[in-house]
Amino acid sequence: AFRFNWSGQDALSGVATYNIDFRAEGENWARWLSNTTQTGANFIAPDSSRVYEFRSQAIDVAGNVESVSDIADVTTAQALWLERSIVLPLVVTP
């Protein structure tokens, strides 16, 4: 799995949601997340031997939609591979 985080800003009304698209390098874009309020998610590659590209599109509170580009914002080719990782639980007390 790959961990992705994204962010955006809108000086007038603020960013409300995001659309996140992906594609295998050289193929057509497909929607991964639609109108999400998340700013990060784990992506499990359908084929781990391929390079995947990602682009984001922000939608502000007023409903204005950012135009999308055919150029990727980031690719899995830029990922740092971790052979082993341990995720510790986060415990919050009131």
pLDDT in tens, 35-66: 999 999 999 999 989 999 999 999 999 999 99
Distance between CA atoms of 29 and 40, rounded to whole angstroms? 19
Predicted confidence at residue 18, as pLDDT, reads 97
Residue 37 or residue 92, greater confidence: 37
pLDDT value of position 94: 64
Q: pLDDT digit string (tens) for 17-26? A: 999 999 999 9
